[in-house]
Structure 1
Amino acid sequence: MMPETEFLQDAEVTPAKLKFDRDTVSFTVKGTIPIQSALSPKNPRVKLIFKSSEKTLELGELDLTKKVAEYIYDKSFILAYEPWMEGAFLEIHFYMGKKSIDEPNEKKVLARGVITTPLMAKVGKVYPDEPIPQIGLFISTGALDADLTRTREFLVKFAPGSSTVSQNAATKATLDEIKAFLTENSSISSFTITGLQSPESSEGRNSKLGMDRAEAVRHLLEESSISIRDSVLKVTSRWHDWFDFRLLLRSYEKLSTQRKDQYYKVLLNEADYESQAADLKKIPGFNQVARDLFPNLRAVRIEVAAKPQPGLDPVQAGLLQKALDDQSGANSLDLADWLIAGETSPRLEDKEKIYSKMTELFRSVIPYNNLAVVKMRQAQRTLAQQSKDSLWSQANMLLYQASKIDTNPYVMHNQGQILVLQGKSWEAYKKLSDASVLTRDPEFLKYNESLRGALDIMRGDFKLATLRFEYDYAEPKYFFNKGLAYFLAEDYANASLSFEESVMSGRNFGYGFYGLAMIAAESGQKEVALIQLEKAIHLSELLYQKALVDPIFEEIRNSEEFFQIFRSSVAESEK
């Protein structure tokens, strides 16, 4: 008798892995049904089904063309993408005999899931287990511009193997520098004390040495009357980690670019610490590099981000409150004073009161635009879709009023951002494109073009998207989007660099690790892919769920090692 699996043996789908492309999923299914004399199937039928746990989509019967020894089928499909498809199965069913029979004689899974990598682009959407993305652009007076935030690093060095702070001139000079910096920049956004350990044997034996050094420096700062709020203070350490050596290597000028590349090849290969140490020692000239750089790792690194304290003086603050309370419209402050007050108020509720009052007092684009941004950010903080829609509607009305006063790129950007969040990406792209034409301000273009680049990724214009990210970034999401553009354009070298930058700028942002895992999977590096994927899924529940169905990892999904990283992630979350 003919084997059960004979009829669908050569059924196949092209591409072998289904992909999201410009809001659609396109594929072709083809195959043959053999005809063998008396064993020929009677009334053969072939159906296609796309199904998940949530939904089943019947794609209908495929037309069969009878040849001498077989029936042939070949049909192309273009489906509008829906979120449930990401984890769906494309199945082909074979029937023969009576048409009333519901159960197929044979089934075959042609594809599992849909590659939706372009939809990973960060465009401001809120996800439950991730920090709320900052969206919307205020028209600024400059009082709180990003360039006012200054970052400084200070180094307190230690003797080899010691965690006792040396009370010498160098330490005193460092403390004086910290005090001077904080006097000029009293608004501290972050203060990180990181204890380091050199790879030297005298340093590496004690895993507590780095943290002991960090605590010693923390106590030194307290004794020196340098008081830091717990909310911005972070005390940490690193041991058996080449991260800080890699940072020092960047600015080390005694190596050629080619020789540095040898170091980076080792440092980025995801091998264990001891293996990397052995490989580094094999590089010619390593001993000299170690003599020059290792002393800077017998230290504590203090990283501070702070800015001057902006805002109104006490008299102006009193006049502001009087104007806010007065229903008659009395006002003793000018537009610039009000703008500084709105800009320097940390709470959205206070900004809302100030900008709302300003729309009564001044005919200006700025208060309407800035009040709209407040509404947009309030929408980010609510999970109720009805409330979110209402706030977006209010923001759009304010932006419309602003556009009647003047054509402004910030207004257009914010209108585009709302359209993005509403899923109207084509309309959004037009708004953002018009906004870019109106100004050459690099700070504005950085954010506007980055959002356009994210939309380019979602629209399938990957090479164009890579051109949108040629700016200096500080946030990991922008590096991730840049890496995503390069990855989808199959420029894996630049993608790897961008994902690495995403990791370095925010180690708690799992998307950079996910990007590195995708590159490793594409290049057949199973072990590296698993290492990076484990880091990603520990940091994000969304990435955890995505990795389980992402066809990019199909080749490693059936391995015991793949499911082991998920079991360890679950165990960690239950502690």
Structure 2
Amino acid sequence: MVPETDFLADSKVTPGKLEFLRDSVRFEVTGTIPIESAFSPKNPKISLLFKSSENSIFFDDLELTKNVGEYSYKESFVLAFEPWMEGAFLEAQFFYGKKAQAEPSQKKVLARGVITTPLLAKIGNVNPDEPIPQVGLFISTGVMDADLSRSKEFVIKFAAGSSTISKSASNQQAIADLKSFLTENSSVLSLKITGIQSPEAAEGKSSKLGMDRAEAVNQLLTQSNISVRDSVTEVKSRWNDWFDFRLLLRENEKLSTQKKDQYYAVLLNGSDYQTQAEALRKISGFNQVASDLFPSLRAAKIEVVAKPLPGLNQEQTALLQKALNEDDNNSELDMTDWAIAGEASPRLEDKEKIYSKMTELFRSVIPYNNLAVVKMRLAQRTLDQTTKANLWKEANKLLYQASKIATDPYVMHNQGQILVLQGKTWDAYKKLSDASVLTRNQDFLRYNESLRGALDIMRGDYKLATLRFDYPYSEPKDFFNKGLAYFLSKDYSNASLSFEESVMAGRNYGYGYYGLAMVAAESGQKEVALLQLDKAIHASELIYQKALVDPIFEEIRTSDEFFQIFRPSVKINEK
């Protein structure tokens, strides 16, 4: 008889939580089996099983080395990652005796799930319960990327405790700059007015001052003949919130990185506003920082997202329709007119007709590239994989024709984007890298480098990825990818700030909340992690399913509070 010894007691896996890295899962299993004289197990064997509800891998028996008082084993593994592994568990199994055993004598789970955080990077994939991501870059006439939105922030400053707008030079200049921006970008997608308050006593003890400031700025826009649709205007306030202070702190060149980290340690610790305020006052030099930064918080911010609105006049529109309805390969409109018509058409079906006709009329990169983008975006709208693959194939043919006419960064970017969606990330990265070399256009690079940065995350180059996002963004996905790069680089301060910016840019975009939950979990802030996770899982079914198996939350998954936040969703699904 073999004594009741736990022969798997010191069997362990390194790293303790399995991780996805560069298309694979790498780990090492080590341990010992004690030799206890005559009571030692005969013919001991150690096997590994990697199993989920969908699939499994049975490994060969581990090689045992017999020592004086024990058998030891140490073996490394590299597995090509497959999606089923994300929710799988790695189990060590102990066998002994001369006869083959169907069931092991002992089992031990070494790891549950695989951390696949890099795969959260937003690269244009479509998920059924989420908004369709915009992919592909059109070539516009005159202004590159004219169909892409532009965002800008304007600040109106106030005296301490006041909601009356002074006619200061800076305020007048802010309104003048806003008018100029809207003249150049007349199609307003969103306008947010946020009244904010300094922590100073003179700023009051409620959010009323901040909202009064926001309302005053809204009235000022009307008085300044700045008219924006109510449906795209949002008037709100922020109070007892250190978000704006952190933005100013990050840009403050007077403070060293080490000093900033002292502030971030307080601002990101999950405590309530008042507790954080008291902790900040204890940091040496805080009075000077407050003197420098607090006046800038007596303000209201105007955040505008807008784009140019090109189009044809009535006579040109008639000529366009005539050309589209005839088989003749002549047109009274020049290529610029056609290109503008394509840009101005909101429906993909209309763009398709225009760009298709342009390929008959003009030998140019523009129609072939832009028609390819239409195909790419139509592919985004279908869940049928055969139809999607055919549309990508058509787009690639058009991009090949465009590349024969001229070498163009937009064409290369679009070829790279299709490769990304096809899962050919390494080939895609080469295309996107070549595209970045061809132009210094900042709007193009902002878009191209954000996708390239997402691929850096998936490729495991996290530090490099953080450098890719050194551009002004307005989309929640870009802030999220930026936060992901910092998180994987273990720079949790910048990760948290970027995830918060993602949340601010899109409150219904659950990934920003998920990022904040990951930061909190890694920092040991259980309550904060649960709070953010609760918001995240109700925004997306994909996030809901991922949170259930993500090893990042292993330490809080066994708590009643963790499952409590999932129960409302479970009840809805059961109905």
User: Which aligned pairs between 1:394-433 and structure 2 lie closer than 5 A?
Assistant: 394-433=394-433
User: Which aligned pairs between 1:197-276 and structure 2 lie closer than 5 A?
Assistant: 197=197, 199=199, 205-206=205-206, 210=210, 214=214, 227-247=227-247, 264-276=264-276
Say if 2:146 is the partner of 1:145.
yes
> Could you say which residue in structure 2 is the equivalent of 1:28?
28
> Could you say which residue in structure 2 is the equivalent of 1:75?
75
User: Deviation of residue 489 (structure 1)?
Assistant: 4.1
Say if 2:66 is the partner of 1:93.
no
User: Deviation of residue 78 (structure 1)?
Assistant: 2.1
Cα–Cα, structure 1 residues 83 and 307, in superposed 2: closer, same or farther, change >3 Å? closer
What SS is found at the alignment partner of 2:353?
A: helix
User: Deviation of residue 60 (structure 1)?
Assistant: 3.5
Q: 2:486 and 2:126 mapped to 1: Cα distance?
A: 24
CA contact (8 A) 2:503 2:509 kept: yes
| TM score, norm. by length of structure 2 | 0.84
User: Which aligned pairs between 1:74-473 and structure 2 lie closer than 5 A?
Assistant: 74-97=74-97, 99=99, 101-143=101-143, 145=146, 149=150, 151-153=152-154, 155=156, 160=161, 182=182, 185-197=185-197, 199=199, 205-206=205-206, 210=210, 214=214, 227-247=227-247, 264-282=264-282, 300-473=300-473
Cα–Cα, structure 1 residues 285 and 122, in superposed 2: closer, same or farther, change >3 Å? same
User: Deviation of residue 555 (structure 1)?
Assistant: 3.3
Whichever residue aligns with residue 481 of structure 2, its letter is N
Q: 2:291 and 2:493 mapped to 1: Cα distance?
A: 31
> Could you say which residue in structure 2 is the equivalent of 1:475?
475
Whichever residue aligns with residue 365 of structure 1, its letter is V
Cα–Cα, structure 1 residues 194 and 489, in superposed 2: closer, same or farther, change >3 Å? closer
- Per-residue CA distance 1:398-454 (angstroms, 9 max, x = gap): 112222222322222211111111111122223223333444444333333333332
What SS is found at the alignment partner of 1:542?
A: helix
Cα–Cα, structure 1 residues 392 and 284, in superposed 2: closer, same or farther, change >3 Å? same
Q: 2:481 and 2:425 mapped to 1: Cα distance?
A: 16
Q: 1:167 and 1:26 mapped to 2: Cα distance?
A: 60
CA contact (8 A) 1:479 1:501 kept: yes
What SS is found at the alignment partner of 2:231?
A: coil
User: Deviation of residue 89 (structure 1)?
Assistant: 0.3
User: Which aligned pairs between 1:54-73 and structure 2 lie closer than 5 A?
Assistant: 54-67=54-67, 69-73=69-73
Cα–Cα, structure 1 residues 175 and 65, in superposed 2: closer, same or farther, change >3 Å? closer
Whichever residue aligns with residue 312 of structure 1, its letter is L
Cα–Cα, structure 1 residues 154 and 13, in superposed 2: closer, same or farther, change >3 Å? closer
Q: 2:183 and 2:444 mapped to 1: Cα distance?
A: 30
Q: 1:26 and 1:288 mapped to 2: Cα distance?
A: 49
User: Deviation of residue 221 (structure 1)?
Assistant: 6.4
> Could you say which residue in structure 1 is the equivalent of 2:39?
39
CA contact (8 A) 1:154 1:174 kept: no
- Determine what percentage of the aligned residue pairs are the same residue: 69
- Per-residue CA distance 1:70-120 (angstroms, 9 max, x = gap): 444433322211111011100112233464542222111011111222222
- Per-residue CA distance 1:373-401 (angstroms, 9 max, x = gap): 11111111222222211211111121122
| TM score, norm. by length of structure 1 | 0.84
CA contact (8 A) 1:4 1:106 kept: no
CA contact (8 A) 2:153 2:301 kept: no
Q: 1:101 and 1:94 mapped to 2: Cα distance?
A: 10
CA contact (8 A) 2:156 2:301 kept: yes
User: Deviation of residue 51 (structure 1)?
Assistant: 0.8
- The answer for unaligned runs of 5 or more in structure 1 is none
